[in-house]
Amino acid sequence: MNILIVDDELETGNYIAQVITEHFNYCICQIAKTYDSAIDYISNQKFDIIILDYELDKSNSLKNGLNLGKFISQSSEHKHIPIVFATSYPEHIYNAVNSLNCVYYMLKPFYKSNIIDMMNKILTISREIPKLTFHNSVGIHVLIKVSEIVYIESERHNIIVHTNDEKYHFTNYSLSDIERDSLGQLIRCHKSYLINYDYLINVDRSNNIIQLLLSDDTAKIPVGRKYSEAVYDFCSKNKSGGQNNE
């Protein structure tokens, strides 16, 4: 998940980014300090969440977060993206909520709990669009509900999407892009695997293996050293898996 934080105070932007990446390790945060640099980011990249501060340019009152939000709403690629409005001035909130696709607002100073609550709220909203779009070898669009994906394996840029009903083969896809587009519902556990924790039934830490439930079988998926800490931490916090073999 790619997140843009727009705040003229770098310390504040870094704090928001730190809290998000510590608690939602599939997120990548980028920070824009000015109105113009934010426009540049938005024009050249795709974001899943945009966090806007109101005051961005003290020398030009028109270059503020509200007007930046209006610019975003006119972008065909970003107009439906959830916007979080952050400000020290409560009087700005009314305009933000009514003029933008503002799903959350935070009043400064805000704390770790505010940022975590904000992310959980947005992830709940995002999960209401649970489909990924793929193209098969003849260019036909294939829509697959994320909730139906048990795991995805890859070999270079060739992937196999495993659901309980069938396997789908696609070419020229990267797991990093799919993980980002799944908005946290598919998690990287290995350089060659994405998994859906909803199907997790067993964790074998001694052998670095996790077991997923298929309709008529189970799948044993390796856990890579690079991803093991995040995977096992998630399992512990969410009490995932029927058994935990240490």
Q: What is the pLDDT of residues 141-194, one digit of tens each?
A: 788 888 889 999 998 779 999 998 889 999 989 898 888 888 778 999 999 999
Tokens of 71: 């610019």
Q: Is the pLDDT of residue 38 over 80?
A: yes
pLDDT at 149: 94
Domain co-membership, 236 together with 138 = yes
CATH of the domain at 170: 2.40.50.1020
Domain co-membership, 95 together with 7 = yes
Domain co-membership, 161 together with 103 = no
DSSP 109-142: S--HHHHHHHHHHHHHHHTTS-EEEEE-TT--EE
175, 195 in Cβ contact below 8 A? no
Domain co-membership, 61 together with 135 = no
151, 211 in Cβ contact below 8 A? no
Domain co-membership, 76 together with 38 = yes
Q: What is the pLDDT of residues 192-213, one digit of tens each?
A: 999 998 899 999 999 999 999 9
Tokens of 172: 């020229």
Domain co-membership, 38 together with 146 = no
Residue 185 to residue 39: CA distance in whole angstroms = 29
Domain co-membership, 164 together with 230 = yes
When divided into structural domains, the chain yields a total of: 2
The lowest-confidence range among 16-30, 80-94, 145-159 is 80-94
CATH of the domain at 10: 3.40.50.2300
Residue range of the domain that includes 94: 2-126
Q: Please compute the mean of the pLDDT values over residues 97-122 and round it to a whole number.
A: 81
